Chains A and B, each alone.
Chain A
Amino acid sequence: MEKNNQIHNFTLEESAKALKSGQCEPSDFYQALRKRAESVDPKIHAYINYAEPSSVPSANGGVFSGVPISLKDNISTQGWETTCASKILKGYIPPYDATVVRKLKEAGAYIFAKCNMDEFAFGSSTETSAYGPTLNPWNPEYVPGGSSGGSAASVAANEAICALGSDTGGSIRQPAALCGIVGLKPTYGRVSRYGLVAFGSSLDQIGPLTKTVKDSALLMNVIAGHDPLDSTSAPEPVPDYTADLEKSIKGMKIGWPKEYFIEGIDPEVRKALENAADTFKSLGATIKEISLPHTPYAVAVYYVVATAEASSNLARFDGVRFGLRAKADTLRDLYFETRDLGFGREAKRRILMGTFVLSSGYYDAYYRRAQKVRTLIKEDFVRAFKEVDLIMTPTAPTPAFKIGEKMDDPIQMYLSDIFTISMNLSGVPCMSLPGGFDNKGLPIGFQLVGNFFNESKIFRAGHQFEKASPFHTMKPKI
């Protein structure tokens, strides 16, 4: 009984162990988390809905046998409404599971809850959700970040053991930073996108949001790998991501890109990064200043490429086959009314931008040019990783901002992704991990960027950092 009161605090590692050893039953986990969620979720609104008790599977002997996992609501779940927090998908029940869901189920896990998010992942604060905003568990006056704000907040508030989110321009890492947890965007192509409702197809990756670095590695062991249903998934073999965790990082070279430490960066964020650098040095790593010269163009390039892809990806929400259908007398009105009622302001804004940059006469000036600069940004990383093992940067320019603060200023909102976007444009793996707190007690995160398909090195440095720092053990009082 004592134990059951603690279950919600468990890491994934502890949960899997407790279930495997028979110390706890799958139903204990369901009940503990459900109880916790019922007490904390009304305060933060991280979840859209929960699984029924009947959906708890019996133990199957898999590595995650009986483990509940929370899922961003843009990942398809067979028989369970998947809405992307948009009115336009109200009532849409996928007839199939996303590949990551299938893999989790095969490993014995089940989906415990669907998490709130920015509508179609368009946002950095989870305020654009049709279900209303998620609040930061550390202080409900602040945003949890986004777009995977529900996933991040549920893990931070210990109403989830771990969660999956998706990251197109920072949507896993930025909320992880703002909520004080670990969030990984894997290498593009490392995790199957099959079943992830597409936003920017060439940028989207599914990844874990966890309480520890090791949990992130454990989740990746299950969800990574080639998927014949996703042509963009990579054939590279998947290593055991936990294998190198305990290895020393002595001699490791960590790059410090000067373009990420510009004026205007929050002094407390900068301080946290300098402290993290000191920790790495104390572990035997060296910090080396490097240059990623095309960094200043990343936001501009991103908002051309991502919106172009989004405008096309969202064309299928037309009221013809699923989801919302407006009453209309003509085909034209059916399209106009359905999309007008179904999409929120930010979704409409991005569809308009994307349609514009692809339009005849503008394509070369915007989309083609953006793709060229994207190549240069990628080359920055290729060059940098000839010199260093990892790169460290801030995750977000500031800690969490207040609810409503940036909702009327899209440019300011877009700039909160300024440090996360380049990794999506280039495809490199990147993890945000807790690196401190500001004077208001809000978490600050920092990023470790790895070379293509070298998540292992990120996990190793991240795990060693965790062993030498207290931040990941600190929990919001909620």
Chain B
Amino acid sequence: MNLMDRIRAVGGTGGSGRPAAGEASTDCRHFAVYREAEEFPGAWDLTAETLRLMSDREIPEELDPRKILYLDTETTGLGGSGTVAFLVGMGYLTDTGFEVHQFLMRDYPEEPFLLKHVAAGLGKFDVLCTFNGTTFDVPLLESRFLMNRMDRNCLEMPHLDLLHMCRRLWKLRLGRCNLGRLEEVILGKPRVDDLPGSEVPQRYFTYLKTKRMELLDDILRHNAQDIASLCVLLNHMADLYLHPEKIRFSEDVYSMGRALEKINHTEYARRCYRLARPGRMGASAGAALAMSYRRSGEREAAAEIWREMVRERKGGAEPYVELAKYEEHVRRNIPEALEWTEKALMLLSEPSLREGESVQETKNELQYRRQRLLRKLKER
């Protein structure tokens, strides 16, 4: 048996003949898509200040919204050095609308040309905006630059990853935050006839064999739509950050408060917590607000929130516990502290409350506190 037959015997067969080699290329294929300005409400008014509310990335002082590059790649797989970005789409605002430029390699030899366009494109902008780009698109492009022995520095720029920003805002309410779901639920524009992302690699491989360009139409459309959505989504979020009172869901506005607090926008965060207090997340928002005051040393303001929560019967035993601490350590009013402690214990002894390990732990702590307070009372 010759070697070829032996390889076929161990490997199994099932393929067809291979396609003829194409002519040598001098560039990759370029597509341009234009979108009308009204699709992107508010996009030209986006400022660095607003972006700084949304992300702790370093944003240039005088940001021109036209200097944000929206980028998305279509790839042959899920990662590893054998995965290639065969299509890279880059979109940006112009004076009059939104342009998407897509660079497609019609075959592997065109990859260096594609990467050259990407590098050139990136070089003209100040901020990069992607969806899951920190873990996927950027490392993948880095890998491709490296494999083609090209400079990777062009990728080093401030990067807004919308996936993470959206998760911070909507995960509590939506759970999974993929782009399709966000378009449907947040932007109210469900996609129709869209190619599922999982079918993209196989579609490209079929194209490679047949070189039938129309096979890629769906992918090109899908990619352009993704990029336009990035811009719409970013500006929609910016609008919400500036006007949290517009947010209809208590979960979302509470989540925004958490996101703002994480990057030290305390005042903005408190505003969100206050807005969230009447809703379903009222208890969490109240607690977060009070804790925020406590952290900045505004103990009385914190206590006032806890008292309000007691009046509203929100937050279970926590406000009582916190008030007990406040009376004991800040106001040094031992009888008052004892009263809050005993109220908390009473509340926790109600059978309606779910009994868990943490409840038991709280009870133990309260008992311990109660003993201490009684001792202090005696010592006086």
Partners in one complex: no
Chain A positions within 8 Å of B, measured between CB atoms, are none
Chain B positions within 8 Å of A, measured between CB atoms, are none
